[in-house]
Chains A and B, each alone.
Chain A
Amino acid sequence: MSEHNEIDRVSGRSTTGHEWDGIKELNTPLPRWWVLTFYATIIWAIGYWVVYPAWPLVSGYTTGLFQYSTRASVATDLADLEKLRGEKMAVLGNASLADIEKDPALLALARARGKTVFADNCAPCHGSGGAGAKGYPNLNDDDWLWGGSLDQIMQTIQFGARSGHAKTHEGQMLAFGRDGVLKKDEIVTVANYVRSLSGLSTAPKFDPAAGKKIFTENCTSCHGDNAKGNPELGAPNLTDQIWLYGSDEETLVETITNGRAGVMPAWVGRLDPVTVKALAVYVHSLGGGK
């Protein structure tokens, strides 16, 4: 260093001997506290190597004195969270669905819990606000395939529909066309009849009497004599304004020809009972259930 030393005539200080475009760098010493802080960080880093996991090895790493692991700390945090929730969730678990509906505090708690669980598990099919999509029921309206009471909603969440679970809802829209029960023109006729049930327009050459005959012979066993549906079988009400797959003639023909069998998974093994209860309360509150 000393052989580079040169005095800057303006400032009276020595330079480092480094020069860029005629500008020389002054050899300005660092403040002592700065240098000491720098040394302190080096000592701190050495301490860090010893105390925390730091060095990668061929198969593994140095674990450090504290055996610190982010994975373990997440597990601890989650356990702490469960413990924190435990007391309140226990109250929720012990209350009946009707009690929860009546108690504003419990209702708020169940809805808050249900909302997050819904977002994590149900939103992919039913949408983040439960608005549904084609083939996935809207949970905000007043039409419930399998019943809209709190108990019925909880039942559906627990065991699903056509989920393969022993207690699941069963019920099938038959494939009248594919199975050869109805011919193409009969399907078109009954599709128009079904549209007429909800007051929708029908095709010009549609014969209502023929439609009614086909409907009575094939459909009333599930959808009922007056086509109001049957929540036991998940058979939809065909006289209302809500259509799970669509109400146009083409969609109805497709439905009657090939049948429908949407699946709702069973959540009984995946979510704990208290969570399912909270979820049922939340879903019921979306549109007020039935």
Chain B
Amino acid sequence: MNKPVSPDELTTDEDGPLYAPRKKVYPQSVSGRFRSIKWRLMAVCLGVYYLLPFVRWHRGLGAPDQAVLIDFPSRRFYFFFIELWPQEVYYFTGLLVLAAFALFLMNALGGRIWCGYLCPQTVWTDLFYAVERLVEGDRRAQMKADAGPMTVKRAGRRALKHAIWLMIAWWTGGAWVLYFADAPTLVRDLATLQAPVIAYVWIAMLTASTYLLAGYMREQVCVYMCPWPRIQAALTDEWALNVTYKYDRGEPRCSVKKAFDIRSLGEKAGDCIDCNQCVAVCPTGIDIRDGAQLGCIQCGLCIDACDAVMTKVSRKTGLIGYDNDINIQRRVAGKQEIFKPVRARTVVYASLITVVCAVMLYALMSRTLLDVNVLHDRNPIAVRLSDGAIRNGYTLRFLNKRGFDRVIAIDVDGPADAKLHVIGADSVTPDRPMIVLGRDTTTELRVLVTAPFDEKAEKSVPVTFRVTDIGLGEVASATDHFVLP
């Protein structure tokens, strides 16, 4: 922060730059256990994202055969065998709750492993780094090129890099819109410029955001923009495994030769040889040896780098590893390391996940495929007929969530001798109005219930509309009130 300065030190009223400029990070390529886990997870994540829209799922006549489809025009969401209607949006709430608890559990077990392995920002930035290294060379080559003058060769490489980046970004935006329409059709329409404008707008927006976030902003997203590092500090505890520099083993740092000399005198020398490899490979440009910090995304690449160096100097690997402060204290005190994945916190998270899963599964299995809602007329609330009888009007809304048409009969339980009249019913028997419900649609009907006027009757009597599927015998009902004027 600003410190008080004496007026003598101020020779100019130029205030200097407002913001500290970004220091560009040139992460060096690395290979090892965590790097290969990252490659595989990247392949899985990107594979699912890019290819899922093309997976087919046969649902029958008239229904879309895309496995995962968010169908806005007809207000349906399809996920393999599940078809959700707008009023069932609580399933998404359940999914979000599940996602949150899964993050909490992950965090309690392994710290910010979401950030390091699964976060889209990490996945795409990693991919963009790979492209950059492929085209412009590794850390040293890039730093040297950036320090030197711009040559034709360098400009060409840079153009190639941006072209590949833009292609990836463009296909990222393209895959996104494929979730909202039949993918093969939309691909053809996009290619022949027949697709709706909104599709191009979304592709453009996601191309731009992918290109900017993964190509330019990179670790700044994690450090400045993302709320998760702030939140996870409140969620983590002393047992969570974090990428940790084991300073009890590493300090004091000294070269291999010097360490040999010190150790031959019987004094303690650390295993860290201060080669800075852990810093060189870090995608957020931090020094893990400074301890746990906001910029660390727990990707474990410094572990790979350090292990390689330790192997080279014939020392035990694991100077940097998934560990916690408890173990460092225990080792200092000469005690055994302990790891405790089963703790109150993790048990609570795991049970909450189980409960939410069970509730969602039950809701999904027991959801009705025939439904009826009722709305009483408000104006007039009741009508007196010429013979003195009372009539109430209602709007019934039927939901047929099955993929075929069906015939339903409507019955009414209400005041004594109540008669039901359905406007536009295809009646088979006079007293039991029947209608055909189209497949996978809602149908709205106006019905009139008439009952003889009874002076002694209650002012308001419950009235229940029962809907029976003639073929399947499924029954649904809705209750409202029959009101006297």
Contact = CB atoms under 8 A, between A and B. Distances in A.
A, B assembled together = yes
Interface of A: 5, 7, 9-14, 27-29, 31, 101-102, 104, 107-108, 111, 127-131, 138, 140-143, 237, 240-242, 285-288
Contacts of B421: 288
Contacts of B380: 127, 129-131, 138, 140
B383 A128 contact: no
21 contacts: A11-B2, A12-B2, A12-B5, A12-B10, A12-B15, A14-B13, A27-B15, A31-B19, A101-B424, A104-B435, A107-B423, A108-B444, A111-B446, A141-B386, A241-B386, A241-B388, A242-B384, A286-B393, A287-B383, A287-B448, A288-B421
Given A10-B2, A12-B5, A285-B446, A107 B383 contact: no
Interface size bucket, B side? Answer: 20 to 34
Given A107-B424, A131-B379, A285-B446, A29 B18 contact: yes
A104 B424 contact: yes
A193 B18 CA distance: 97
B385 interface: yes
Nearest to B9: A12
A138 B383 contact: yes
B13 A5 contact: yes
Contacts of A240: 386-387
B4 interface: yes
A242 B386 contact: yes
A14 B435 contact: no
Report whether over half of chain B's contact residues are helix, strand or loop; otherwise say mixed.
loop
Contact of B384 (A5, A241, A288): A241
B15 A14 contact: yes
Given A12-B10, A104-B443, A285-B446, A127 B18 contact: no
Given A131-B379, A140-B391, A285-B423, 14 more contacts: A7-B7, A9-B6, A12-B15, A29-B15, A102-B424, A104-B435, A130-B380, A131-B383, A141-B391, A241-B384, A241-B386, A241-B387, A287-B448, A288-B421
B446 A142 contact: no
Q: Which of B18, B19, B385 has the most CB of A within 10 A?
A: B385
A209 to B, nearest CB: 27
Nearest to A286: B393
A28 B13 CA distance: 11
A87 B406 CA distance: 28
A118 to B, nearest CB: 12
Contacts of B5: 9, 12
B377 interface: yes
A101 B443 CA distance: 16
Contacts of B435: 104
Contact of B18 (A31, A108, A288): A31
A13 B15 contact: yes
Nearest to A6: B13
A141 B18 contact: no
B377 A129 contact: yes
B23 interface: no
A141 B385 CA distance: 5
Contact of B13 (A7, A9, A131): A7
Nearest to B423: A285
Contacts of A142: 385-386, 391
A141 B391 CA distance: 8
B378 interface: yes
Contacts, number: 90
B7 A241 contact: no
- Give the 3 A-B CB pairs with smallest separation, nearest first: A129-B379, A240-B386, A131-B380
Nearest to B446: A285
A140 B424 contact: no
Of the candidates B10, B385, B424, the one having the most CB atoms from chain A within 10 angstroms of its own CB is B424
A40 to B, nearest CB: 18
A108 B442 CA distance: 12
B412 to A, nearest CB: 15
A130 B446 CA distance: 15
A13 B18 CA distance: 11
A62 B3 CA distance: 57
A140 B427 CA distance: 22
Nearest to A31: B18
A5 B15 CA distance: 12
B443 A127 contact: no
Contacts of A131: 379-380, 383
Contacts of B13: 5, 7, 14, 27
Contacts of A111: 446
Contacts of A5: 13
A138 B386 CA distance: 12
Nearest to B444: A108
A14 B393 CA distance: 76
A13 B15 CA distance: 6
B314 to A, nearest CB: 53
B38 to A, nearest CB: 35
Contacts of A288: 421, 423, 448
Contacts of B444: 108
A248 B350 CA distance: 75
A129 B395 CA distance: 13
A10 to B, nearest CB: 5
Interface string B360-391: 00000000000000000111100111111001
Contacts of A286: 393
A240 B4 CA distance: 97
B424 A10 contact: no
A129 B13 CA distance: 75
B264 to A, nearest CB: 53
Contacts of A242: 384-386
Contacts of A101: 424
